[in-house]
Structure 1
Amino acid sequence: MRNLIRTELFKIFRQRKTFYAIAAVFVLEAFIMVSAYYQGKEFLDVFLDNLRESFEFQGNLLNGNLIIYLVLNAFWFHIPLILMIVVSGFLTSEYKDRTVEAVLLQTVSKRQFILSKYIAALVFTAFILIVLILSTFAFSYLLFGKGDLVVFLDGLSFFDSAEALERLLLAFLVGSITMFFYATVSITLGVLFQEATITWIIAALFLIGTTLVLRLEFDSDLVNLLFFPKLTDNWQYVFFAEIPYGVIVKKNAVLIVYTLVFGVLGMRVFEKRDIT
């Protein structure tokens, strides 16, 4: 099993799509930073114009902490989309090349093979998140400096530079559970649909549907806790004035259960399917 995982990771980091994913992360960051550099001040002026009558703002609010927060907003759609397209290809490309059949002709069980795919997908996702975090913090602070963070979420909140750093790091940590969920779903979709183009389309529709449903408001607290599209925004709670740790833990626990459910579903389907 250990050798299978090593082999999967070796293949992943030898594929061009891996570097395309890294490049896409850098392009996304660059787009956000360039947009903020040229239009960020105007946006902040409009956003805070009505508040200047009641508050006195000092210092530069267009700083690295705000840029990092804007990058975090890519967790809604852009980062998951990159992950789902690349990760699903870990399996669909092997269906296309008939590598799956060649591997299973050896002394490798179906369960070991597909489990190694899921584990490799999670490791790859962690790698992309580490690249995202390190590059975002480095470039944001280098280009925009540090400063207080202003967030309009559950009311207007201000965090000094030190507290902003802690909350941003916690937000990335909390949001990583959502990224692992999407990575697991990607492999499962690859198992179900096998063909790359179809899997990409279904993955995009899954992500779009999840994002749209997330914006709906349900009166039932039980639905908000148990319906997985309502669980993918947990990182936002980190920027409430008082962080609701209990809500974050409960929602992430349920999301982990959904991740395991999708993983088990993909493994069961793969084990029962005739590959030849």
Structure 2
Amino acid sequence: MEADIRLMFDSPEYSIRDFRCRCTSCGVSGKEHQEHFSIAYIRKGNFRFNVFRNELDAYSGLFLFCKPGYEHTVGHVHDLPDECTIFSFSAAHAALLESQAPGLKGFFRNPDLHSILVKATPDMEYLHHRILTLLERPRFPQMEAEQLMADLFGRLMNNADKGPAPFSGREIRHYMPLVEAVKIHISTHFDEDLSLNALAAMSHMSPYHFNRMFRQMTHTTPYRYLLNVRLQEAAWQLRHTGRPVTEIAFATGFHSLEHFSAAFRKVFGKPPSGARA
């Protein structure tokens, strides 16, 4: 397989690589050996991941968990280039993650199950976006990056029993890239006054059709997705900065402190001041 693979972060516990497929024709790769436990977030594309008689339909918005010590092949589904963020773990750190994943006991204990797919939740996608954006800087605060990764890994281990929903090939090829582009736009512009009509126009769909496809592929509405990103960013700032609560509320796209406080309490079960404490 032809690909650009760039090391973005490296530590004794884990490394992060940016994977961008550069194959010029669809086909099946040669056998590749899995040396480390890894979790790949599929940012773009659709491919068939084949390992030990199992074929996984991997597409954007999913995490691919892989045990070490096995061979696999990758088959391209169409000419849309695959892009992934690959987290590779040392044996000691992988064992630590395994001990913190009650929902994954069946996966780790089954010797015939080598890889699984997990549907990303909006908060996982928010954390992945924050990590990727941070690591793209020429210089980045390492502790902040590691805290974001710890949060992401913790949520993955707690929610890894949620498999992907079945989609048709046409939906994955045509609609999935459009929905993924909108999610990235929301994660980048959450502090702006976004509208359903504007997001639908980005996808070249009517508001009704866009809302239906977004819900089908994310299991939530565009508004709820936006609200979740805003609240996750606000929660991060409350925990890791000393900015006033009111300032954080307006900086994350809320138009009133009352709306922010009510939405925050509904999702996190405590007021913003409680999250800071």
Global fold match (TM > 0.5): no
Bigger RCO of structures 1 and 2 (CA < 8 A, at least 6 apart): 1
TM-score by length of 2: 0.29
More helix by share: 1
Instruction: Report the structure number with the largest CA radius of gyration.
Output: 1
